[in-house]
Amino acid sequence: MPYNIIVCVKQIADEVRIDPSTNEPVISNPQYRMEDLSKNAVEEAVRIKEKYGGKITALMFCSDSSTPVMKEALAMGADEGIIITGYKENSPDFSAAVLAEKIKSLQYDIVIAGYASADSYTAQIPARLSKLLGVPLLGSAIKVDISGKKIDILREADDLDIKESADMPAVISVTQETNQPRLPLLANIIASARKPLKVEATAVQYKETSKIISDKAQQSSRKRIIYEDINKGVQEITKVLKQEVAV
Amino acid sequence: MRALLFSDKLAFSEMMASLLRDGFDIDILAFPDHAADLTGYGAKEIKGMEKEDYAADSLADFIAGMSKDYDYIFIGATVLGREAATMLSALTGNVMKSEITKIEISGGKARTSRLYYGGKTVLEEESDAKIFTVSQGLVEPSRTAASSKTTKVVNQKTSKITVGEKIEKPSTSVDITKASVIVSIGRGIGKKEGIEKIKELATLLHGELAGSRPICSDYHWLEVERQVGLSGKTVSPKIYMAIGISGQIQHVAGMRNSKTVIAINNDKTAPIFQECDYGIVGDLYSVVPLLINAIKQTGQS
């Protein structure tokens, strides 16, 4: 049976440079890319659609209305895109509230999101969505099987793999091991330009819950004694090893 | 200030208790099998659950019922812990901070630190947070003289999900976080067979073999238990040897607390050379055999 799938996609700064004079990150005018596990989320949505049919809506909450990341999601196989603007960094509770507000207005059987994002790594979004939508969370899924309205997953939970199941509608979070995200074909990239894309500003009120005191690169106090002469290096490092370890 | 600690992993609860017992009056909520082991870690009370619960939603419901007795809730940042803490925050409306590495309470505000931008920076924040997930491996767990009172708590399990079979991962039961010498490999190794030579070095140094994310999670050349970095283990050995590891920030975040870092890499510009005490610029397949010989010789002298 066909499913209505909503996939949450995050964009993150491609590379965060550290300003050596302040030791702080430079985040003005960043180049954005699709967050690593968002790729796995889109891939899983496309695989489910390829198998059972249905419709995929890619949902992004970000600061700008036109983003190559949404185009990539559409080129990978999402059918339509919704961009919500008004993003605030470091506010997973706000992001989840905004996403949930939109998802509630859509028809869905499955919501898929990455387990955690590579930049902030709070891992809060899937669990918050589950609570805000009042639907089960099948989290950290490395394998997803669907039959009718039932979803079975294999969950990777640290040193355990756990079989879990729930009925739709449900939120699934995926990891890097769930699948291998596809690279969009050129023809699909071109075709994605014709797919429907809506942009809207969020109406959810932002409430500040924390204040940033500092955001600096960690200072390394390593000795940094580097040998380009291999023999000399081996000799000196053997001495260090000999001092520290009984060999 | 009263704090309740929980983790589904015993070692995590021990670590959190050791970290937090000086700043807070702590109680520990524990899975049935863990309760007895946790009595010597400075908690006033160990609340042993009647049954373990691997469903984040029912676990969060249960903790929410106890949370009014506590000023702060600390949950170990495991897969289950992160989800349960987040659901607890959603249920109670209390602010949550994830993956903290430091905490100080002052004037009713929580001042916390955590890694940001994939470990590139440290974000220091002040918030009204009452719920925290705690990063793993922040301190070495240590026992105290005082023992704890142990009680039993009855937990109901009403979950939206069905938890089925639990499969222990095929594990070598290796715990690299306890190793005093770690010899770690990265993509620079190039081929799986290359690991044999590195293994010889690790054995010689009485150390454990470890690897970066590509080696463990992408190529599966080493067990995932041996992965060092933001998405793997955080280690703090006496000697950390990074061989063929470029030193991506996600990796460095996992080995930053090592006492002495030694790097071998053929790329002079590799970031690992900024994060090491001693480094050799050269092909690891030339350097490692020389190093093995040199260690064997000094061993005999």
Q: d(Cα A205, Cα B146) in Å, to the nearest integer? A: 49
What 3-state class would DSSP assign to B133? strand
CATH fold of A3-201 reads Rossmann fold (3.40.50)
Evaluate if residue B110 carries a pLDDT over 90.
yes
Q: d(Cα A211, Cα B110) in Å, to the nearest integer? A: 10
Chain B residue nearest residue A232, CA to CA: B280
Token pair recorded at residue A104: 């509630």
pLDDT tier for residue B301 given thresholds of 50, 70 and 90: very low
Average pLDDT for B106-121: 90
CATH fold of B176-300 reads Rossmann fold (3.40.50)
Evaluate if residue B207 carries a pLDDT over 70.
yes
Best A37, A91, A149, A210 residue to mutate vs chain B (most B CBs within 10 Å): A210
Q: What is the per-residue pLDDT across B151-204, written as a single tens digit (0 to 9) for each?
A: 999 998 899 999 999 998 765 678 898 899 999 999 999 999 999 999 999 999
CB-nearest to B124 from A121, A214, A240 is A214
DSSP state for residue B214 in the 8-state scheme: I
Radius of gyration of the CA atoms of chain B, in A: 21
DSSP state for residue A58 in the 8-state scheme: E
Going from N- to C-terminal start, the domains of chain B cover 2-153, 176-300
B-chain residues near A210 (CB < 8 A): 95, 97, 125-129
In percent, the amount of chain B with pLDDT more than 70 equals 98
Residue A100 pairs in a beta bridge with: none
Q: What's the mean pLDDT when you consider all of chain B?
A: 93
The listed range with the strongest mean pLDDT (B46-60, B237-251, B257-271) is B46-60
**Percent helix / strand / coil, chain B, rounded to 5:** 35, 30, 35
Average pLDDT for B241-257: 90
A188: number of Cβ within 10 Å: 15
Q: What's the mean pLDDT when you consider all of chain A?
A: 94
Strands B131-134, B72-76: parallel, antiparallel or unpaired by DSSP? parallel
Tokens 């702080």 identify what position?
A24
Cβ separation of A92 and B98 shorter than 8 Å?
A: yes
State the pLDDT at residue B41.
97
The amino acid present at A13, given as its one-letter code, is A
Residues 103-162 of A with CB under 8 A from B: 116, 118-124, 126-128, 130-132, 135-140, 155-162
Cβ separation of B82 and A123 shorter than 8 Å?
A: yes
State the pLDDT at residue B120.
81
Residues 33-72 of A with CB under 8 A from B: none
Domain B2-153: CATH superfamily is HUPs (3.40.50.620)
Cβ separation of B79 and A140 shorter than 8 Å?
A: yes
State the pLDDT at residue B171.
59
DSSP state for residue A173 in the 8-state scheme: E
Residue A191 phi/psi, 5-degree rounding, is: -65, -25
Q: What is the per-residue pLDDT across B10-56, written as a single tens digit (0 to 9) for each?
A: 999 999 999 999 999 999 999 999 999 999 999 999 999 999 999 99
CB-nearest to A165 from B126, B162, B290 is B162
Residues in chain A: 247
State the pLDDT at residue B250.
80
Average pLDDT for B108-112: 96
Q: What's the gap in Å between the CA of B143 and the closest CA on chain A?
A: 25
CB-nearest to B86 from A124, A214, A236 is A124
State the pLDDT at residue A150.
98
State the pLDDT at residue B298.
67
Q: d(Cα A184, Cα A201) in Å, to the nearest integer? A: 28
User: pLDDT higher for A160 or B170?
Assistant: A160
Token pair recorded at residue A92: 């997973």
Token pair recorded at residue A60: 């992004």
State the pLDDT at residue A203.
94
Q: What's the gap in Å between the CA of A193 and the closest CA on chain B?
A: 31
Evaluate if residue A159 carries a pLDDT over 90.
no
Ordered strands of the A80-85 beta sheet:
A197-201, A80-85, A54-62, A3-9, A110-114, A170-174, A137-147, A150-157, A160-167, B162-168
pLDDT tier for residue A240 given thresholds of 50, 70 and 90: very high
Going from N- to C-terminal start, the domains of chain A cover 3-201
Residue A92 phi/psi, 5-degree rounding, is: -60, -30
Helical (H) or strand (E) element with B92: helix B79-92
Torsion of CA B6, B12, B13, B15, to 10 degrees: -130
Q: What's the gap in Å between the CA of A210 and the closest CA on chain B?
A: 4
Dmax over CA atoms of chain A, in Å, equals 68
- The two counts, helices (H) then strands (E), for chain B are 7, 16
Chain B residue nearest residue A23, CA to CA: B121
- The two counts, helices (H) then strands (E), for chain A are 6, 15
Q: d(Cα A92, Cα B262) in Å, to the nearest integer? A: 38
Please report the ipTM that was assigned to this predicted complex.
Answer: 0.91
Best B79, B217, B218, B268 residue to mutate vs chain A (most A CBs within 10 Å): B79
Q: d(Cα A107, Cα A173) in Å, to the nearest integer? A: 19
Cβ separation of A227 and B91 shorter than 8 Å?
A: no
Task: Provide the b/e sequence for B263-274 (b: ≥16 CB within 10 Å).
Answer: bbbeeeebbbbe
Average pLDDT for B231-258: 90
Q: What's the gap in Å between the CA of B72 and the closest CA on chain A?
A: 16
Q: What's the gap in Å between the CA of A126 and the closest CA on chain B?
A: 8
A-chain residues near B118 (CB < 8 A): 16, 118-119, 121
Tokens 């706000």 identify what position?
A94
pLDDT tier for residue A110 given thresholds of 50, 70 and 90: very high
State the pLDDT at residue B273.
93
Tokens 């023809």 identify what position?
A187
Cβ separation of A211 and B274 shorter than 8 Å?
A: no
In percent, the amount of chain A with pLDDT more than 90 equals 82
B-chain residues near A160 (CB < 8 A): 166-169
DSSP string, A1-44: --EEEEEEE-EEES-PEEETTTTEEE-SSPPEEE-HHHHHHHHH
Is the Cβ–Cβ distance between A152 and A48 less than 8 Å? Answer: no
Query: Mean pLDDT lowest for which of A63-67, A206-210, B206-210, B222-226?
Result: A63-67
Task: Provide the b/e sequence for B57-67 (b: ≥16 CB within 10 Å).
Answer: bbbbbbbbebb
Q: d(Cα A124, Cα A131) in Å, to the nearest integer? A: 11
A-chain residues near B64 (CB < 8 A): none
Average pLDDT for A233-243: 94
Evaluate if residue B9 carries a pLDDT over 80.
yes
